[in-house]
Amino acid sequence: MIEINVKTISMYVKVLGGKSKQKMILKENSRIQDLFDALISMYGDDIKETFFEKYETKKSKPGTAMYLNGRNIFALDGLDTELKSEDEFLILPPIAGG
Amino acid sequence: MIKGGYMGKVLRVNLSTGKISVEELSEQMAKDFMGGAGFGVKYLYDEVPGNADPLGEENKLIFANGPLSGTATPCASRMAVATKSPQTGTAAVALSGGYFPVEFKYAGYDVLIVEGKSEKPVYLYINDDKVEIRSAEKLWGMDTVDTQILIKHMLHNQNFRIACIGPAGENLSKMASIINERRAFGRKGVGAVMGSKNLKAIAVRGTKEVPIANQEAFKKALNTMLATMKASPILYSEFSKHGSPMVVDACSALGIMPSENFATTGEKDYVPGLGAATSHEAKIAKEPCFRCPVGCSQLKLARGTAKYLSALSDPEYETYFSFGSQNGVDNLDSVIAADALCDRLGLDTVSVGVTIGFAMELFEKGLLTLKDTGGIDLKFGNHEAMVDLIKEIAYKREGLGALLGDGSKVLSEKIGQGSENYAMHVKGLEFPGYDPRGAFAHGLNYATSYCGADHNRGYAIQEIFAIPVPKPYDRFAVEEKGWLTKWNQDMACAVSDCPTVCAFIFDMALFVNGAQNIADMVGAATEINLTPEEVQAVGERVNNLARVFNITAGFTRADDTLPERILTEPIKAGGSKGHYIKKEDFNKMLDDYYAARNWTKEGIPTAEKLEELGIGYAMEKLGK
């Protein structure tokens, strides 16, 4: 089994069970898609609606940012990116400006 | 002949001779440089020698609107001022929103060129066609708030809009800004150039209308633009409520909100003290720029800390960084007070905050002593000392004020002892609030932008907000960052700096169709029809011409660099832990950037590139 640290901020905290940080236990060789499946089974379909235009097509909502160990997952293999133990998965809501 | 969008006139005021003249704006200028920063850089290139003394009579201040300013276009409230910067020695632009910019356009002009130097303090009076140079001897010494109030009283007319300098500009601080109401032409010491000319203020009243060449097409393009803004997942739903300070939360999560002069980035959490939730509690009202349906500028009132009670201001994210985390401060009231004081005294908040943070590190390292500080315990976190120092900097007369008054580069030159390794500037312009060790293209923009470490000249939205345009990027990757930085710089210039439309709406709504949007809007307003590629080429043209100016000012590849700290010290904790830009990686990115620009390995534009952009004449200044 592998342990993944899931983090988020702001309005997404509520969707992820009111936790800005949490650990998820997954099977070896899991991918980010598996992590989302696990989160959906814990917190329901709100996860799909909040983060994705259409979950089945793996298309995230515009403005939603996802990082694995600080790297934009869509510059990696998207939801097919493989996870390893102690990875940090960060989801940020639409934020811009500055 | 220009049919719309522009007023068609350039107002030229020579403060040495007192001569005031009006020239026609040429259609070729409009086609090639569009407006705003484009006009500013072109006039600077044509009329100011690269080796001019920035605070001498030869330098000029060129204020320019874009073709959409003053039309029904949302968020087109802005204006650029271009000059040779006393802080960087480069070509420089600073842009401001507010109400002064469009008032100037309504007076019937697209450009104001201020040249020469007055013997005594003056202000410029512009009431449509009536333009006069008037005495400002009574105003000299006043802060920017009182200056604006008093000029309106003197004119018996509250409808004038005023841009002015405060004591910092009068005292030629290289960090001086030009203030209009609460908005600023903030960076690169443009206020010092105004002070060097003994020009205290520009007071404008305009009653004309901006003509639109093709009303039907304009309405259609406008509806498309408004619909795109409405569809944004950020613009109205979040940004309108929280403004740029919500970036504190995002940059903290990514581990790139710089802390304590970039020495402890990622190690301390500033979200509880400065994040969106705390910031929102201090909000009392919006203060939108002209014709802005978003209203990101948010007034905040200091109500918690006795020293700052009643301070009122609208600090942006950059100021949360510069007077917050950069100084190890998480007291929001002190950030509000520092912002208000900088506006009042006419100082750039980013440069001043970064310079004070640098001084704090010097103090903690023992390179500044209690004797130097006059007994002030200038440790990180001392927000009271931070706020007190601002006034000393504006007056530059003695002690720490004199030492810090011209910014980080000058301070490090005075202190020496290796302090230049952690003086956080490029070409003299202090870093904004993003640690480039966690955003490599953003850092490459700091190194290569034509006016030093200026985030707005090529903001890497792909790295900081993961916006996938033109495609997703890994913020720590070296590959393709040269091309990306060029793309960001040319686009920012073309869709924001030249048409003088707020950059935020492109970051948040129009990132996919930014160039198309400007092509449609400007095309309808002016009937100068450009393709999206030609719009982008305007940005490229401006960036190349500014580069040629900088080469004539003596800049070389060696100046396109980053402080040693960024190139050698890994970030120790947080979301960017372990990362830094290795020197060999930086050099690779720089090589790639020059190649993407079709510049030589030494960073000199090639004849082929300049000819392609229709500015082959610039080769003459390169000595070829």
What residues are paired with B397 via a beta bridge?
A: none
Predicted TM-score (pTM) above 0.90 = yes
pLDDT, position B624: 61
Q: Is A93 helix (H, G, I), strand (E, B) or coil?
A: coil
Mean pLDDT of B397-405: 93
Pairing of strands A21-26, A59-60: unpaired
Answer yes or no: do B465 and A9 touch at CB < 8 A: no
- ipTM for the predicted complex: 0.96
For residue B292, pLDDT over 80 is answered with yes
User: Nearest-CA distance from B50 to chain A in Å?
Assistant: 31
What gap in Å lies between CA A89 and CA B343, rounded to an integer? 40
Rounded to whole angstroms, what are the CA distances from A44 to A17, A50, A79, A88, B50?
Answer: 10, 11, 18, 22, 63
pLDDT, position B548: 98
Q: Quick check: B393 and B173 in contact, CB under 8 A?
A: yes
pLDDT, position A62: 83
Residue B228 carries which side chain, given as an amino acid letter? T
The CA-to-CA distance between both ends of chain A, in Å, stands at: 41
- The string of pLDDT tens digits covering residues B326-377 is 999 999 999 999 999 999 999 999 999 999 999 999 999 999 999 999 999 9
Out of 3.30.479.30, 3.40.50.300, 1.10.10.10, 1.10.599.10, select the CATH number for domain B436-620. Answer: 1.10.599.10
Percent of chain B with pLDDT over 90: 96
What gap in Å lies between CA B81 and CA B164, rounded to an integer? 13
Answer yes or no: do A97 and B508 touch at CB < 8 A: yes
* In chain B, domain spans: 9-205, 244-424, 436-620
| Minimum CA–CA partner of A71 in chain B | B474
User: Nearest-CA distance from B316 to chain A in Å?
Assistant: 7
* Cβ atoms within 10 Å of B171's Cβ, excluding its own: 21
What gap in Å lies between CA B377 and CA B456, rounded to an integer? 34
| Minimum CA–CA partner of B579 in chain A | A70
| Minimum CA–CA partner of A51 in chain B | B233
Residue B552 carries which side chain, given as an amino acid letter? T
Q: Quick check: B178 and B165 in contact, CB under 8 A?
A: yes
**Cβ contacts of B277 within 8 Å, gap of 6 or more:** none
* In chain A, domain spans: 2-92
Residue A24 carries which side chain, given as an amino acid letter? M
What gap in Å lies between CA B552 and CA B90, rounded to an integer? 10
| Minimum CA–CA partner of B504 in chain A | A97
For chain B, percent helix, then strand, then coil, each to nearest 5? 45, 15, 40
**Cβ contacts of B508 within 8 Å, gap of 6 or more:** A94, A96, A97, B232, B234, B235, B239
For residue A10, pLDDT over 90 is answered with no
Answer yes or no: do A98 and B455 touch at CB < 8 A: yes
User: Nearest-CA distance from B589 to chain A in Å?
Assistant: 18
Token couple for B279: 């910031």
What is the biggest distance separating any 2 CA atoms in chain B, rounded to whole angstroms? 69
Answer yes or no: do B247 and A98 touch at CB < 8 A: yes
Token couple for B616: 């082959």
**Cβ contacts of B201 within 8 Å, gap of 6 or more:** B123, B124, B136, B139, B147, B148, B151, B162, B163, B164, B165
Q: How is residue B428 annotated by DSSP?
A: T
What gap in Å lies between CA B387 and CA B18, rounded to an integer? 40
Q: Which residues of A touch B579 (CB under 8 A)?
A: 70
Q: Quick check: B448 and B560 in contact, CB under 8 A?
A: yes
Mean pLDDT of B595-612: 98
Q: Which residues of B touch A93 (CB under 8 A)?
A: 238
Rounded to whole angstroms, what are the CA distances from B518 to B218, B375, B585?
Answer: 11, 55, 35
pLDDT, position B398: 87
What gap in Å lies between CA B65 and CA B73, rounded to an integer? 13
Pairing of strands B183-185, B178-180: antiparallel
Pairing of strands A65-68, A88-92: antiparallel
Whether chain A has a CB inside 8 Å of the CB on B318: the answer is: yes
Answer yes or no: do B234 and A95 touch at CB < 8 A: yes
Fold of B244-424: 1.10.569
E strand or H helix that includes residue B385:
helix B383-395
Q: Quick check: B318 and B213 in contact, CB under 8 A?
A: no
User: Nearest-CA distance from A81 to chain B in Å?
Assistant: 14
What residues are paired with B131 via a beta bridge?
A: B126
Token couple for B18: 């007192």
| Closest residue to A97, CB basis, from B317, B472, B575 | B317
Answer yes or no: do A75 and B477 touch at CB < 8 A: yes
pLDDT, position B348: 98
- The string of pLDDT tens digits covering residues B96-131 is 999 999 999 999 999 999 999 999 999 999 999 999
State the burial class of residue B88 (Cβ atoms within 10 Å of its Cβ: 0-12, 13-18, 19+): buried
Pick the range with the lowest mean pLDDT from A21-30, A53-62, B488-497: A53-62
Q: How is residue B264 annotated by DSSP?
A: S
Answer yes or no: do A90 and B253 touch at CB < 8 A: yes
Answer yes or no: do A72 and B473 touch at CB < 8 A: yes
For residue B166, pLDDT over 70 is answered with yes
Q: Is A7 helix (H, G, I), strand (E, B) or coil?
A: strand
pLDDT, position A11: 86
Q: Quick check: A4 and A87 in contact, CB under 8 A?
A: yes
Length of chain B: 624
Mean pLDDT of A30-41: 97
Q: Which residues of A touch B256 (CB under 8 A)?
A: none
Residue A96: which pLDDT band, with cuts at 50, 70 and 90? Answer: confident
Whether chain A has a CB inside 8 Å of the CB on B545: the answer is: no
Q: Supply the mean pLDDT for chain B.
A: 97
For residue B539, pLDDT over 80 is answered with yes
**Cβ contacts of B30 within 8 Å, gap of 6 or more:** B2, B5, B6, B67, B526, B528
Mean pLDDT of B140-169: 98
| Closest residue to B461, CB basis, from A66, A75, A96 | A96
User: Nearest-CA distance from A79 to chain B in Å?
Assistant: 14
Pairing of strands B199-205, B122-127: parallel
Q: Which residues of A touch B247 (CB under 8 A)?
A: 95-98
Out of 3.10.20.30, 1.10.1060.10, 3.30.460.80, 3.90.1150.10, select the CATH number for domain A2-92. Answer: 3.10.20.30
For residue B405, pLDDT over 70 is answered with yes
Pick the range with the lowest mean pLDDT from B110-114, B417-421, B462-466, B505-509: B505-509
E strand or H helix that includes residue B180:
strand B178-180
Domain B9-205 has CATH 3.60.9.10: yes
- The string of pLDDT tens digits covering residues B249-275 is 999 999 999 999 999 999 999 999 999
Q: Which residues of B touch A76 (CB under 8 A)?
A: 474
pLDDT, position A35: 98
Token couple for B605: 């534009």
Ramachandran area for residue B453 (φ above 0: left; ψ -120 to 50: alpha; else beta) = beta
Whether chain A has a CB inside 8 Å of the CB on B570: the answer is: no
Pick the range with the lowest mean pLDDT from B55-64, B124-133, B380-389, B395-404: B395-404
What residues are paired with A18 via a beta bridge?
A: none
User: Nearest-CA distance from B456 to chain A in Å?
Assistant: 9
Q: Which residues of A touch B476 (CB under 8 A)?
A: 70-71
What gap in Å lies between CA B147 and CA B441, rounded to an integer? 41
Answer yes or no: do B238 and A94 touch at CB < 8 A: yes
